[in-house]
Amino acid sequence: MSEYVTKETFEKMKADLHHMKSVDRPAASKAIAEAREKGDLKENAEYDSAKEAQGMLEAKIKQLEGIIATSKIVDTTTIDTSRVSILTRVTITNMATKKTVTYQIVGEQEADLKAGKISASSPIGKGLMGKLKGEIAEVQAPNGILKFKVEGITV
124-136 as b/e: b if 16+ CB within 10 A: bbebbbebeeeee
Q: Are residues 69 and 82 in the same domain?
A: no
* Domain CATH number, residue 103: 3.10.50.30
Domain boundary among 73, 96, 127: 73
Domain boundary among 73, 97, 112: 73
Q: Are residues 89 and 149 in the same domain?
A: yes
Domain holding 127, by residue range, is 76-154
Cα-based angle 60, 34, 58 (whole degrees, multiple of 5): 10
Indicate the number of domains in the chain. Answer: 2
Domain boundary among 31, 50, 73: 73
User: DSSP per residue over the chain, as a string?
Assistant: --EEE-HHHHHHHHHHHHHIIIIIHHHHHHHHHHHHTTS-GGG-HHHHHHHHHHHHHHHHHHHHHHHHHHEEE--GGG--TTB--TT-EEEEEETTT--EEEEEEE-TTT-BGGGTEEETTSHHHHHHTTPBTT-EEEEEETTEEEEEEEEEEE-
Q: Are residues 35 and 96 in the same domain?
A: no
Q: Are residues 110 and 54 in the same domain?
A: no
Tell me the C-alpha distance between 82 and 152, whole Å.
9
User: Residue 147 CB: number of other CB atoms within 10 A?
Assistant: 14
Q: Are residues 94 and 56 in the same domain?
A: no
Q: Taking the model in full, what pTM does it have?
A: 0.67
Q: Are residues 9 and 68 in the same domain?
A: yes
* Domain CATH number, residue 47: 1.10.287.180
Tell me the C-alpha distance between 36 and 112, whole Å.
41
Looking at residue 41, its pLDDT comes to 66
Looking at residue 2, its pLDDT comes to 65
Q: Are residues 68 and 13 in the same domain?
A: yes
Q: What is the pLDDT along the chain (155 residues), one digit of tens a residue?
A: 567 788 888 899 999 999 999 999 999 999 888 888 877 666 778 888 888 999 999 999 999 999 899 888 887 777 888 899 888 999 999 999 999 999 999 888 788 889 999 998 889 999 999 999 999 999 988 888 999 999 999 98
Q: Are residues 39 and 103 in the same domain?
A: no
Q: Are residues 91 and 40 in the same domain?
A: no
Tell me the C-alpha distance between 17 and 153, whole Å.
34
